[in-house]
Structure 1
Amino acid sequence: MTPDVADPENVPTRRPFPGGWAAMVAVAALVALGLILWFVAAPGDEDSSAVPTAGSADAGFARDMAVHHQQAVELSFIVRDRTDNEDVRRLAYDIAQTQANQRGMLLGWLDLWGLPKTSADGYMSWMNGGHSGHQTEDGSLMPGMATDTEIDQLREAGGKDAEILYLQLLTDHHMGGVDMARACAQQCEVPQERQLAQGMVDAQQSEMQLMADMLRERGSAPR
């Protein structure tokens, strides 16, 4: 399971975040609150005033991607302390800040809609042909998410080994996230949420290419 810095009631805590970047994440969450209001008020090509239902793709994507993003933030915090390489640390910082910001928006939408942050139907049930009940015995909640064993391996690795494992785990993570975001871009009804989802697709595909290049520089490759 992963720690929750934006909503302690949503996801059980694995381990407290160390200092430094924790303040950054808190600021990103505050920025996200302002962006939520802008997105909700922003004009769209469809009526965005209707509140989605708890079982809708809009609510399901917001719930599941908030959890998915939280693990990327956790992995980025871990690698920060396992390497001195500035390129990897900079990438990890960017991923942590971006995904903490987006996570704040997703949870904020659920609050504005008055919808629960968990679903009795399990993860991914909102997707057409989704993966409800994906959770494995080793803690992988959704496609692309690292297992508890992989997270522990990253905590124990150092230097180049930590860099390679982080880049591989985040590549897998992004692949799962892109599939989810693409599904929302096709299925979600709220235009602002579809816009955010498509932005995730574009940004994470670009980051996957960057991570492939960084792995190649280290004599490795995506898994």
Structure 2
Amino acid sequence: MTETSAPVTETPAPRPTARPVVIAATVIVVLLVGAVLGMFLTQRALDSSGPATPGTGSVEVGFAQDMSVHHLQAVTMANWARDHSTDPEVRQLAFDIQSTQLEQVGRMKGWLMLWDQPEQAPGAYMTWMTQPSGHDMAGMPGSSAGAAVMPGMASDTELAKLRSLSGKDLDVYFLQLMLRHHQGGTAMAQYAHDHSPVSAVKTLTQSILNSQGAEMVLIKQMLGARGAQPL
């Protein structure tokens, strides 16, 4: 009986390890994650490098504080004229001024709240208008002889006179005071528009320049129709 030998089983050659492939893939993932993280951090840095929140003494804060006071006097005069004039054209103008400027005051006071600033400046008015711009405070309407705290504003004596008048005299004096008031306000708005990089401030000041510019033309026409001249 012939003895048969068991078949020889060949040991398979060792397979190449996959470790280098895994390591390479891991490196690619890490690089991708790092690139994405780097782009994210760069974008955050760019975002945070924008204009800082306006602070005390800035054009933006000073404008919002002072123009709010300026506007509120216009609202006071407009309310009086609307309630005491019998002229429909004067009453309509007074209503338009009152509604427009109250809305603008609301915006400015909202900014001051967001910027953590007081609604009124703790010191003197107009200290924010200090940069060279061609604006001469001494030559602004209503700023001579210390008659008013800001350009174009009526003095207490002038407000008392307005309240003492009636009929055509009331209408004419209101128009005269409001024209001068707008002239002073637009000078302030122009300065802020020229010196602030904040888009919201530029938008509001341009709106003030547009609306009050149109109203000044109308007021001059109304004064002429009533046989009167600006102050």
Bin for the TM-score computed over the shorter chain: 0.7 to 0.9
User: Identity of aligned pairs, percent?
Assistant: 41
1:127-149 CA distance string (max 9 Å, x none): 136759x69776x2101000111
Please state if 1:193 is matched with 2:201.
Answer: yes
* SS of match in other structure, 2:177: helix
Partner of 2:94: 92
CA RMSD of aligned residues (A): 2.1
- 1:39-188 to structure 2, matched below 5 A, reads 47=50, 50-128=52-130, 131=137, 140-188=148-196
* SS of match in other structure, 1:144: coil
Q: Report if aligned partners of 1:63, 1:117 keep a CA contact under 8 Å in 2.
A: yes
Structure of greater relative contact order (alpha carbons < 8 Å, 6+ residues apart)? 1
Aligned-pair distance for 1:117? 2.0
* SS of match in other structure, 2:84: coil
* SS of match in other structure, 1:52: coil
In 2: Cα distance, 1:81 partner to 1:62 partner: 28
In 1: Cα distance, 2:83 partner to 2:122 partner: 36
Q: Report if aligned partners of 2:64, 2:109 keep a CA contact under 8 Å in 1.
A: yes
Letter of the 1:93 counterpart: F
In 2: Cα distance, 1:176 partner to 1:90 partner: 22
Of residues 196-205 and 111-120 in structure 1, the stretch that sits farther from structure 2 once superposed is: 111-120
In 2: Cα distance, 1:172 partner to 1:192 partner: 26
In 1: Cα distance, 2:106 partner to 2:57 partner: 20
Name the structure with the higher helix share.
Answer: 2
* SS of match in other structure, 1:117: coil
| Matched positions, count | 175
Letter of the 1:208 counterpart: M
In 2: Cα distance, 1:149 partner to 1:174 partner: 19
* SS of match in other structure, 2:119: coil
Aligned-pair distance for 1:81? 2.7
* SS of match in other structure, 1:81: helix
| TM-score, with structure 2 as normaliser | 0.71
In 2: Cα distance, 1:83 partner to 1:203 partner: 22
Q: Report if aligned partners of 1:182, 1:201 keep a CA contact under 8 Å in 2.
A: yes
Of residues 153-162 and 75-84 in structure 1, the stretch that sits farther from structure 2 once superposed is: 75-84
- In structure 1, stretches of 5+ residues that fail to align are 1-45
* SS of match in other structure, 2:56: coil
The 1:196–1:47 alpha-carbon spacing in structure 2 relative to 1, beyond 3 Å, is: farther
Aligned-pair distance for 1:121? 3.7
Aligned-pair distance for 1:116? 1.7
| TM-score, with structure 1 as normaliser | 0.73
- In structure 2, stretches of 5+ residues that fail to align are 1-48
In 1: Cα distance, 2:127 partner to 2:186 partner: 16
Q: Report if aligned partners of 1:58, 1:189 keep a CA contact under 8 Å in 2.
A: no
Letter of the 2:127 counterpart: S
Aligned-pair distance for 1:190? 1.1
Letter of the 1:57 counterpart: V
Letter of the 1:161 counterpart: D
In 2: Cα distance, 1:75 partner to 1:184 partner: 24
Please state if 1:210 is matched with 2:212.
Answer: no
Structure 1's consecutive aligned runs of 4 or more residues displaced over 4 angstroms after TM superposition are 129-132, 134-138
